[in-house]
Each structure stands twice: as C-alpha cells, then as structure tokens.
Amino acid sequence: MPVTIQDVAREAGVSVSTVSRALAAPEMVREATRLHVVETANRLGYRPNRAARGLITGKTGNLGVIVPDLSNPFFPAILKGIQSQARGADYAVFLADCDENGAEEAALVQAMAKQVDGVILCSSRMSPSQLERTIGLTSLVLINRPVRDQPAVIMDVAGGMRQAVDHLTALGHRRIAYLQGPRASWSNQQRRRGLRHAGRRGMAVTELGPFAPTFEGGLHAADLALAEDVTAIVAYNDLMALGVLSRLADREVKVPAEVSVLGFDDVPMAGMATPPLTTVAMQNGRAGRAAVDLLVNLISGADAGELRRELECQLIVRASTATPREAWSGPRQVAAPARHGEPTEGL
C-alpha cells in the first residue's frame, strides 16, 4: 500500500536507479530528469523505506539514548536537546530507561546496538568493566562520565562548585557544609574536586553523607547539617536542596537569614521554591545537542571532530543565599523570639 521507489520510477518513466540518484546524488542526473523525478515523488508522497536503505548502507538513521531515570527532571532537559538536534540531522531517537541499573543499561545497549548507528549514554550507571565491555558494540558518546578517550560531553561541575564557593565567600561565609550524593558517582567526585577551592579561599568545609540524591535525602541531611557549626549548606543537587529547605522551614530556621542553601542542576522547581533556590545551572539542552553533534561526527567517520566537549556551568543566584546574619549553632529553642532580619532579597 505504501508508495515505493518502484512506483515513482514507473510513474516518472525512469528506472529505480535514476530515482534513487535523483533524490540522493543530485549531481549524477540531468537537471531536467531530477526535477521531474522529484516532482513525481512529491506528488505520490514517496518516502524512502529506511529499513531497506539501512539494509544496504549499514546505517539505520537512528540514535539511541539511555537515561538512568526519566522521572529525574535532570534528564528530560537533556533529552529535549538531543531530540531537536537529532531531528535536525534527520535521525530518529530510540529512548530507553535503565532504572538506575548498570546491568540493565548494558543489556539495553546490547539490544539497541543493531538498530542504531550510535548510542548516547546519559550519566551512565555502568561499572567501569561493564562500560569497557560495552564500548565497541556501537558508537558511543557519554554525557557526564568521561572514560579514557571515549567521546564525551562533560559539564564543568568543578568550575560550577568554584563559582558557588566564591559566591559564598564573597557573602562572608567561612564555614559551610557539603551534602554528598552517591559517593561513587562522577558528579559527586567533581563537586568535591571543586570544593578544594574553598580551602584556598580560607573556608572550612564539612562533608556529610553520602545521602540519597532525593528530596528525602535532603530532609535527612538537613538535620545533620544543622548540628554542624556552619552558615551555609551546599547540596549535591536541587532535589536534596529542596528537601533541606523544607526541613529547615519545618524547624523554623530562616533561609537565607540564618542559613544559606545552595543546590545543583537548576531543575524547574528550583525557581519556584520558597525561597527561590540559588543553584548551579547545567546547560542540559546544549549538552544534549553537543552529544548528538559528537555522535554524528563519530558515525560519519570524520575523526577530525573533537572528542570531548566541556560545557560551563553557571551559578544562578536567587534568594536562598545571603550574607550570614549569624552562625547557626546547636539546637534551637522552638519558642525563641524570631529576629526578623529582612531577608536581604535579591542579594
């Protein structure tokens, strides 16, 4: 029922080869013929069968994307970038969710390998050995997980952390807490690396955790952080930071008057929290687009292409950070008269 290249050829009165060339290699056929063929193809609504094409060319015209968890708002943002860039390059996108499971992720790549020209792995959860085995199954581009000389898009998280540190230093903070995410994760390592900058700025950092990188993890971590003698809390990501904010509100600790809170990722919710969360924004959309560029280059064999793309992070200053009015120390008496310092908003 669908219109094939044969139909077009018959209708246009030429051979299938000519049709194929008219559409794919314009310079190989006479201009008049080309126009005629193209017109006929359009009139019939011909669209080449990609499976058939793939069979002979060995290319599928598809890209695969694997994310650890779709319900983590961090990934849809990347996905949108991948989507739009892939569409522009005339690739379709296969999506799979590995449920934070490295083995599942490896299996998915394996299953996808034959149906795609390459795969983009977002924040891969695979173990190094799994990853090592997976490389070579198909063209791979990693996001946020550099491995040897594998093409990758990485975000300069350490740089982002340095911005955060400088921001807090400038405000006058001298003692801060960092709430760790999953200890093994590359992102967590990078944040800690950036934290070393704090020492050079004469700031004392207390590392707590690891905690679950979730809202609940933040609730949990908040109490521990309050028990430390710090004036600012830097959370592994925004979800945790939101948890911290929530817990502090419950305990009637004023943010940012008494404690400043800072997150990572700039998820959509960050700007809507009370107070709006100061956070380190990642360029997720651009990361997705860059990954597609890298992958397309890799596929087309243009080894001239760069192998690694590093994206800057950007501190977004909102209302959850301010100059430390006073250090928080020890448990607070619930009924203590609140000092209504105006919240220094807008900084």
Q: Which of 5, 12, 77, 106 forms a contact with a copy of itself (CB under 8 A)?
A: 77
Least Cβ distance, residue 3 to a copy of itself (angstroms): 10
Q: Which of 11, 38, 94, 343 forms a contact with a copy of itself (CB under 8 A)?
A: 94
Burial of residue 182, with CB atoms counted within 10 A of its CB: 0-12 exposed, 13-18 middle, 19 or more buried:
middle
**Minimum CB distance to DNA smaller for 15 or for 127:** 15
The pair of three-digit structure tokens given for residue 158, joined into one six-digit string: 């350490």
Rounded CA gap, 14 and 17, in Å?
8
Rounded CA gap, 308 and 288, in Å?
13
249 is a site residue for a copy of itself (CB under 8 A): yes
CB 110 within 8 A of CB 64: no
Helix axes 186-200 and 157-171, enclosed angle (nearest 10): 40
Radius of gyration of the chain (CA): 26
Which range, of 154-162, 220-228, 254-262, 267-275, touches a copy of itself by CB under 8 A? 267-275
Residue 307 interacts with, from a copy of itself, DNA, none (CB under 5-8 Å by kind): none
Q: Which of 10, 11, 23, 286 forms a contact with DNA (CB under 7 A)?
A: 23
The residues near 335 (Cβ < 8 Å, ≥ 6 apart) are none
Residue 96 interacts with, from DNA, a copy of itself, none (CB under 5-8 Å by kind): a copy of itself
Size of the site for a copy of itself (CB under 8 A): 39
Residue 42 interacts with, from DNA, a copy of itself, none (CB under 5-8 Å by kind): none
Report the phi/psi class of residue 36: left, alpha or beta, with left for phi > 0 and alpha for psi in -120 to 50.
Answer: alpha
**Minimum CB distance to DNA smaller for 36 or for 201:** 36
For 67-76, give one letter per residue: b (16+ CB within 10 A) or e: bbbeebbbbb
Footprint on this chain of DNA (rule: CB under 7 A)? 2, 4-6, 13-18, 20-21, 23-25, 28-30, 32-34, 46-49, 52-53, 55-57
Footprint on this chain of a copy of itself (rule: CB under 8 A)? 2, 47, 49-52, 54-55, 60, 70-71, 73, 76-77, 79-80, 83-84, 87, 92-97, 111-112, 114-115, 215, 242-243, 246, 249-250, 268-269, 272, 274
